[in-house]
Amino acid sequence: MDTAVIEAMKKWPNVPAVSGYLSLDQSGHWRHHRAGDANRYPEQPGERITHPGLLAFFNRNYQSDEQGRWFIQNGPQQVYVRLDAAPLIVSLAQDLLHLQDHTGRQVDTIQAWYLSAQGTLYLRTPAGPALLSGRDIAALLDQLRSADQGLDSLDLGQPCHYEGWTLPAYPDACPLTVWSSCVSPARELAYIVLPEPDPT
């Protein structure tokens, strides 16, 4: 978090949080909702934010609270973010081996994998729950293996839990869970899709 942000929080500790103005789409793009209605109309994508300085500020000051609400700490104010897919969107880095999230941070550790019935791949990282960008799913699934088998040897049509899965760049084995179609990723991974401030 920026030093100026920390100082502003100390100076004005009781600024009410807001929601409805920002969202994070499934590609990891920040989006602005001018009317503050992002949560009321979750089907509306909002306007993509492209200003380099603003993007850098968001990426440095993005975090979560104990309830699983993700927000930008904008000076003394928390601006809650609607999540269209997950709190973090990860993709393969330039080496096509390591992963990085949409804020530019490298993923150092993978704690667990989750494969949805729709074929999307989620993961748990120390920084938070993440969704693998769709464009990288095929390449990563090719690399994901247990000691003696790949995903092509599993019955992915049935909910199940497997131990011992690794990637070349992440040799520490972790579990892989295949979810049924009724599983809510947000509930399983403990994040809030449409966060709202606490009542005042």
**What confidence tier does 8 reach under pLDDT thresholds 50, 70, 90?**
low
What residues pair up with 139 in beta bridges, in sequence order?
A: none
Tell me the backbone φ, ψ of residue 166, rounded to 5 degrees.
-135, 165
Report field, pTM of the whole predicted structure over 0.85:
yes
**Region 117-145 average pLDDT:** 92
pLDDT value at position 142? 86
Q: Report CA torsion sign: 124, 128, 129, 133.
A: negative
Answer with the residue of higher pLDDT: 148 or 65.
65
**What confidence tier does 147 reach under pLDDT thresholds 50, 70, 90?**
confident
In tens, the pLDDT along 72-101 reads: 999 899 999 999 999 999 999 998 889 999
**What confidence tier does 2 reach under pLDDT thresholds 50, 70, 90?**
low
Please give the helix or strand (H or E) that residue 131 lies within, else none: strand 128-132
**Region 114-122 average pLDDT:** 90
Mean pLDDT: which of 6-10, 116-120, 155-159 is highest? 116-120
Instruction: Please classify residue 121 by burial: count the beta carbons closer than 10 Å to its beta carbon, then call 0-12 exposed, 13-18 middle and 19+ buried.
Output: buried
d(CA 144, CA 99): 13
Q: For all residues of the chain together, what is the average pLDDT? A: 92
d(CA 76, CA 6): 8
What residues pair up with 113 in beta bridges, in sequence order?
A: 123, 176
Please give the helix or strand (H or E) that residue 161 lies within, else none: strand 160-167
d(CA 45, CA 23): 8
Residue whose token pair is 């992002």: 38
Residue type, 126: P
pLDDT value at position 148? 75
pLDDT value at position 98? 94
Mean pLDDT: which of 5-9, 24-28, 151-155 is highest? 24-28
